[in-house]
Chains A and B, each alone.
Chain A
């Protein structure tokens, strides 16, 4: 479980329209995309700026320096990568410590990065109403052992949101009171938001032409 597997998957692409060589006729060839999938997960060097240092320092004082596997500041947002079995501990401290006071768990969502060993990520967005701050917690698990500690005991609002992440990605939240499907039918097979789950759909005839379903259409990537 190396830290290098946590960054988003990118594409090797050059130029606005992804062409290489001389194919770009648009004149907008200045944009070069980095491919974050190959790069190791690199923490942003301190100082992080704004309130970020204070939050990370408080958390590390409470739970030890190794609680954050990486701390990344991007586009003015703080992301703390934590181990899947520590999420509930982290949330407990984030909610209760008087320097942190993240009272509200705004959102829990899953993301699937199929090229990584720990491909299923769970992302928590916490909001501190006291200090008017936001922070993102992120954790990653593999398909073999997709188990994350449930935060429902700390944030009851995570109940349905964790059920949705289970329903859509197959992440198992240990300690959740009743982890069942929520949006899909109870007897549904598969986890629809995973990247290897097909979108589905049928070809549609329009004035004699057959329009294929969206996931079979020509893509410009």
Chain B
């Protein structure tokens, strides 16, 4: 009986959560967990040789609202078709209706595990269009914040991979230590995620002394945490079995599919934009680019752990480089006029600035109003800037028509591009390895769908 025959039957006669019905495509089973055995019993092993299994979009193991349509032959996956778009929020379109500065609050919400990278990539593009250079201190703060963010993103990658492969302790530890970084972000700019902290021309406010102390404590703390993870996972036979030789993608496969970041480095190519095309002064830092020749999920796990150690090195050097100075360009035509300060209730306005514009200088008030409501004009043209996000090359293609709003901003999101490679590394393997392989790509659907 099909649903169109007698629409009310589906509510009266059938269990809507474990239904079985015939369609033009064949027999459809709806399985929601515990009734798997019933479905297996119902499947005719002779005639139903190939089974289409639909995973997601609401599924705890698909790493976000990702839908995977798998064609199965027994336990073997014959084809995987990722279906995306469930988290499409129109960020690029929205940017065209806001000022260049307001754009920060939109791009930061794309890849929500790496907000500082989205902001920095976007701001580097705006700054290139404006042809301005940010002060040294702002650059150093950006580097410190990006590396902290890289660690927090890699911790979530380890945590969720652990969760999806059954290593639940890893999830608890990963999120526990990420929390410490979010606390630092909160101390720096008042927000834990989606901070819009990096702004065209610099950063929204200086890094407080308290936060510097917290970062130093974290740099001292984290190596022990990494040793713990290694103790937990590296020697673990189950972890090795689930990841070694799983999700194989070599360098030529990566380049063909456009895969960058830890996945490319796990295949042996040490391509890291921080080294190969430096930005934000990364050429002044001493760090290594870890590579591996495994090209599998195990190699990506090893690479991410090693990258956290390298990030810690960069952060320590960044703290040593922090010298007093401005954190926003001196050009008052571009610099955000409202000085922000971290108060008891998070990020807020500086009372000194409010006193200045409200009771001392009419011109300052006009200037503030014009720059905040209208924004600054950006000379016409187009640029492409790329930075090394935790997932690979994050590119921003920004086009200006000379106005106060972006004409077009396109985010080349590594999650979006890398996810294309999932069929290449999962087809022919087992269904369980689709999960391990997908987790090792570490896609973030907020970035993928934008």
**Residues in chain A within 8 A of chain B (CB atoms):** 8-11, 13, 16-18, 25-26, 28, 31, 33-36, 74-75, 77, 79, 103-107, 109-112, 123, 125, 127, 129, 132, 134, 136, 155-161, 164, 168, 181-185, 192-193, 199, 214-215, 219-221
Is B403 in contact with A11, judged by CB distance below 8 angstroms?
yes
Instruction: List 17 extra interface pairs beyond A8-B381, A16-B376, A111-B399, CB under 8 A.
Output: A11-B403, A17-B370, A18-B377, A25-B366, A31-B333, A31-B377, A103-B255, A112-B408, A125-B412, A127-B386, A129-B269, A134-B386, A159-B420, A168-B92, A183-B85, A183-B450, A184-B85
A-B contact pairs, 24 of them (CB 8 A): A10-B380, A10-B401, A10-B402, A17-B377, A26-B366, A33-B380, A103-B255, A107-B384, A107-B412, A109-B410, A110-B410, A112-B408, A123-B382, A123-B410, A125-B397, A129-B271, A129-B276, A136-B384, A156-B420, A157-B256, A161-B417, A168-B92, A184-B85, A185-B85
Q: How far, in whole Å, are A55 and B384 apart by their CA atoms in the complex?
A: 18
Q: B24 contacts the other chain (Cβ, under 8 Å)? A: no
Is B374 in contact with A220, judged by CB distance below 8 angstroms?
yes
Question: Which residues of chain A are within 8 angstroms of B131 by Cβ–Cβ distance?
Answer: 75
The 3 closest A-B pairs by CB, nearest first: A157-B258, A109-B410, A220-B374
Question: Which residues of chain B are within 8 angstroms of A111 by Cβ–Cβ distance?
Answer: 382, 399, 407-408, 410
Q: How far is the CB of A32 from chain B (nearest CB, A)?
A: 10
**Residues in chain B within 8 A of chain A (CB atoms):** 84-85, 88, 90, 92-94, 96-98, 128-129, 131, 255-260, 269, 271, 276-277, 332-333, 366-367, 370, 373-377, 379-384, 386, 393, 395, 397, 399-405, 407-408, 410, 412, 416-417, 419-420, 449-450
Question: Which residues of chain B are within 8 angstroms of A16 by Cβ–Cβ distance?
Answer: 333, 376-377
Q: How far, in whole Å, are A155 and B257 apart by their CA atoms in the complex?
A: 7
A11, A17, A106, A193: the one contacting B401 at CB < 8 Å is A11
Q: A25-B366, A106-B258, A214-B97 are in contact. Are A34 and B377 (CB under 8 A)?
A: no
Q: A105-B258, A106-B386, A157-B420 are in contact. Are A184 and B366 (CB under 8 A)?
A: no
Chain A residue at smallest Cβ distance from B92? A193
A75, A105, A132, A184: the one contacting B128 at CB < 8 Å is A75
- Of B96, B98, B397, chain A has the most CB atoms within 10 Å of the CB of B397
Is A125 in contact with B395, judged by CB distance below 8 angstroms?
yes
Q: How far, in whole Å, are A199 and B276 apart by their CA atoms in the complex?
A: 39
Is B399 in contact with A221, judged by CB distance below 8 angstroms?
no
Q: How far, in whole Å, are A192 and B259 apart by their CA atoms in the complex?
A: 27
Is B367 in contact with A26, judged by CB distance below 8 angstroms?
yes
Q: A107-B384, A125-B397 are in contact. Are A9 and B407 (CB under 8 A)?
A: yes
Q: How far, in whole Å, are A91 and B84 apart by their CA atoms in the complex?
A: 27
Q: How far, in whole Å, are A18 and B373 apart by their CA atoms in the complex?
A: 14
B96, B98, B402, B419: the one contacting A13 at CB < 8 Å is B402
B258, B379, B402: the one contacting A104 at CB < 8 Å is B258
A33, A136, A185: the one contacting B379 at CB < 8 Å is A33
Q: How far is the CB of A117 from chain B (nearest CB, A)?
A: 17
Question: Which residues of chain A are within 8 angstroms of B381 by Cβ–Cβ distance?
Answer: 8, 74-75
Question: Which residues of chain A are within 8 angstroms of B450 by Cβ–Cβ distance?
Answer: 183
Chain B residue at smallest Cβ distance from A111? B408
Q: How far, in whole Å, are A8 and B366 apart by their CA atoms in the complex?
A: 31
Question: Which residues of chain B are within 8 angstroms of A31 by Cβ–Cβ distance?
Answer: 333, 377
Q: How far is the CB of B259 from chain A (nearest CB, A)?
A: 8
Q: How far, in whole Å, are A196 and B378 apart by their CA atoms in the complex?
A: 22
Question: Which residues of chain A are within 8 angstroms of B129 by Cβ–Cβ distance?
Answer: 75
